């Protein structure tokens, strides 16, 4: 990798740090120290997901409307600044605690800003990666940058934990300022100097803004069977791999009789599997077998794991369950890397931002639906049957079915016939 490509990894590191601050620190303080209602806290952290459809429009803007001659850099920097300012403003509100309606309205506004910036920065960063890399190198780069995000989450959680060992509101403000500053500095290090004013980039921008947002949406998204098919595939995969996200630990406790210590370690087993498989994928697997084969392997492996998890519940085997959770992480990582490879192949020099926005929206929709669906189905089936095991097994079986649907769809993808691909081939031909 070139120095410029290595520099790009600084953005996902910063993205992970702010994610750790929001999802690993502020949520806990809001509930435990401030006593805010869980409903309000859940709504605040859902706002970035609810804003995900904006990614499509933001991507369209970055494709066709450069700032100071740059299609990606200014948008990425602006996104990081807005996300950081949103978090800092939220913390200042929390520590001043105006109470009542003022606190609620203020937190909603600050999290809207945070979510807008987060969606903007991440979406356009992926478009920049699509611009900078081609072929298999693009798939590997996107995968390795996702690994960098996970490393940022881990590093951010560790650093914030150290800074907040003896919690006080003043320390929270200081820790937030440090985290936000670090993320912004990393963004500047990653983004600046990555684009050149080439004739090809200028032509691509002109072609992109040659169609209005509504026209582009109608032609390249709604009117393209390949895009629609891949959108469904992404949603099914994310629901199928993440609906159990909040269920594995309770399943281990209620069905298999595992202790708190034992179930707590399940996250490490799963996360270790994901990290290992994505590192291997970005390192060489994507280059050797291709993204579609890798996606299919991940889907089949995860389907088999869900069958095993149900079997472990029937046999009452915690040891088998732990191993299966690790294998589930491996399958999820392989499927995720394969999806990123598919996303990479769909991106074109003209519509990279627009298409990355669609894929980002699909993935976040899948994550949100999966999180909601998993718990809701368990509760509904448990009430209907009175059986804990059947309730959890129903979710696991449903996830396997969705992954099977995604597997079938992989055989119906033909990126080269998508409208965006044909546009780039014809219009940008020398």
Q: Which domain holds residue 101?
A: 3-210
Tell me: do 250 and 267 sit in the same domain: yes
Q: What CATH number did the domain enclosing 293 receive?
A: 1.20.1250.20
Contacts of range 104-112, beta carbons closer than 8 Å, 24 or more positions apart: 104/40, 107/40, 107/44, 108/43, 108/44, 108/47, 110/86, 111/44, 111/45, 111/47, 111/48, 111/86, 112/47, 112/51, 112/86
b/e code 346-361 from CB counts within 10 Å (16+ = b): bbbbbbbbbbbbbbbb
Tell me: do 84 and 221 sit in the same domain: no
Tell me: pLDDT of 427 over 90.
no
Which residue is listed with tokens 């611009």?
Answer: 131
Tell me: do 59 and 160 sit in the same domain: yes
**From the CB of residue 323, how many other CB atoms can be counted at a distance below 10 Å?**
14
- Tell me what percent of the residues of the chain surpass a pLDDT of 90: 52
Structural domain ending residue among the three candidates 184, 210, 236: 210
d(CA 422, CA 430): 14
Tell me: do 321 and 347 sit in the same domain: yes
d(CA 325, CA 241): 12
Tell me: pLDDT of 373 over 70.
yes
Question: Pick from 123, 114, 132, 115: which is nearest to 56 by CA?
Answer: 123
The three-state secondary structure class of 181 is helix
Question: Pick from 407, 260, 353: which is nearest to 65 by CA?
Answer: 353
Q: Tens of pLDDT along 273-289? A: 888 999 999 888 998 99
Computed over every residue of the chain, the mean pLDDT equals 90
Largest CA distance in the chain: 67
Whole-model pTM: value is 0.86
pLDDT-derived band at 1, boundaries 50, 70, 90: low
d(CA 98, CA 106): 9
Tell me: do 49 and 9 sit in the same domain: yes
Structure token digits, residue 428: 């940008």
Which residue is listed with tokens 């390949």?
Answer: 226
Answer for the pair 367, 242: CB distance below 8 angstroms, yes or no. Answer: yes
pLDDT-derived band at 24, boundaries 50, 70, 90: confident
Answer for the pair 354, 226: CB distance below 8 angstroms, yes or no. Answer: no
**Would you state the pLDDT for residue 370?**
84
pLDDT-derived band at 137, boundaries 50, 70, 90: confident
Answer for the pair 244, 399: CB distance below 8 angstroms, yes or no. Answer: yes
d(CA 134, CA 333): 22
Tell me: do 279 and 414 sit in the same domain: yes
Tell me: pLDDT of 47 over 60.
yes
Tell me: do 132 and 53 sit in the same domain: yes
CA angle 181, 17, 48 (to 5 degrees): 100
* Number of domains composing the chain: 2
Tell me: pLDDT of 232 over 50.
yes
DSSP-assigned letter for residue 210: T
pLDDT-derived band at 426, boundaries 50, 70, 90: low
Answer for the pair 349, 222: CB distance below 8 angstroms, yes or no. Answer: no
pLDDT-derived band at 183, boundaries 50, 70, 90: very high
Our separate counts of H helices and E strands in the chain read: 21, 0
Tell me: do 206 and 237 sit in the same domain: no
Tell me: do 49 and 63 sit in the same domain: yes
Structural domain ending residue among the three candidates 157, 175, 210: 210
What is the average pLDDT across 35-44?
Answer: 85
- Tell me what percent of the residues of the chain surpass a pLDDT of 70: 99
pLDDT-derived band at 428, boundaries 50, 70, 90: very low
Q: Which residues contact 298 (CB under 8 A, 6 or more apart)?
A: 277, 331, 332, 333, 334, 335, 336, 337, 338
Which of 149-153, 277-281, 302-306 has the highest mean predicted lDDT (pLDDT)?
302-306
Choose the weakest-confidence range: 78-82, 97-101, 170-174, 394-398.
97-101
Tell me: do 111 and 184 sit in the same domain: yes
The three-state secondary structure class of 257 is coil
**Would you state the pLDDT for residue 46?**
85
Tell me: do 196 and 229 sit in the same domain: no
d(CA 208, CA 202): 10
Structural domain ending residue among the three candidates 177, 210, 243: 210
Answer for the pair 18, 85: CB distance below 8 angstroms, yes or no. Answer: no
Sign of CA dihedral 30, 34, 40, 42: positive
d(CA 111, CA 368): 17
Question: Pick from 324, 233, 339, 357: which is nearest to 281 by CA?
Answer: 339
């Amino acid at each position: 990798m070139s120095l410029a490509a290595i520099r790009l990894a600084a953005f996902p590191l910063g993205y992970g740090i702010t994610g750790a601050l929001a999802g690993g620190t502020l949520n806990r303080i809001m509930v435990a120290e401030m006593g805010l209602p869980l409903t309000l806290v859940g709504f605040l952290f859902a706002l970035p997901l609810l804003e995900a459809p904006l990614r499509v429009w933001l991507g369209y803007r970055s494709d066709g409307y450069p700032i100071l001659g740059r299609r990606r850099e200014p948008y990425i920097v602006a996104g990081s600044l807005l996300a950081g300012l949103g978090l800092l403003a939220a913390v200042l509100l929390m520590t001043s605690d105006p109470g009542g309606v003022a606190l609620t309205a203020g937190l909603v506004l600050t999290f809207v800003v945070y979510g807008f910036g987060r969606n903007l920065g991440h979406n356009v960063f992926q478009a920049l990666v699509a611009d900078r890399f081609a072929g298999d190198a693009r798939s590997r780069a996107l995968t390795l940058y996702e690994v960098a995000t996970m490393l940022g989450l881990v590093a951010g959680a560790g650093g914030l934990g150290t800074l907040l060992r003896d919690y006080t509101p003043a320390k929270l403000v200081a820790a937030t300022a440090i985290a936000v500053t670090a993320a912004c500095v990393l963004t500047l290090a990653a983004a600046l100097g990555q684009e050149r004013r080439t004739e090809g980039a200028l032509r691509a921008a002109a072609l992109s803004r040659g169609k209005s947002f509504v026209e582009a949406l109608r032609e390249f998204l709604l009117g393209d069977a390949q895009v629609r098919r891949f959108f469904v595939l992404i949603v099914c995969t994310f629901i199928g791999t993440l609906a159990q996200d909040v269920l594995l630990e309770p399943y281990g406790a209620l069905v298999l009789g595992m202790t708190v210590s034992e179930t707590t370690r399940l996250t490490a087993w799963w996360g270790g599997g994901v990290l290992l498989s994505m590192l291997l994928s970005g390192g060489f697997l994507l280059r050797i077998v291709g993204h579609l084969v890798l996606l299919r392997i991940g889907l089949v492996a995860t389907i088999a794991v869900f069958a095993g998890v149900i079997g472990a519940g029937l046999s009452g085997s915690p040891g088998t369950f732990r191993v299966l959770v690790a294998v589930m992480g491996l399958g999820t990582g392989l499927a995720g890397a394969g999806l990123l490879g598919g996303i990479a192949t769909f991106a074109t020099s003209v519509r990279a931002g627009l298409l990355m926005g669609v894929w980002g929206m699909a993935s976040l929709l899948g994550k949100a639906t999966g999180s909601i669906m998993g718990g809701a189905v368990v509760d509904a089936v448990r009430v209907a049957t009175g059986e804990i095991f059947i309730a959890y097994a129903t979710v696991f079986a449903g996830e396997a079915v969705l992954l099977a649907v995604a597997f079938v769809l992989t055989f119906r993808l033909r990126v080269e016939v998508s409208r965006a691909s044909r546009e780039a081939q014809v219009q940008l031909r020398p």
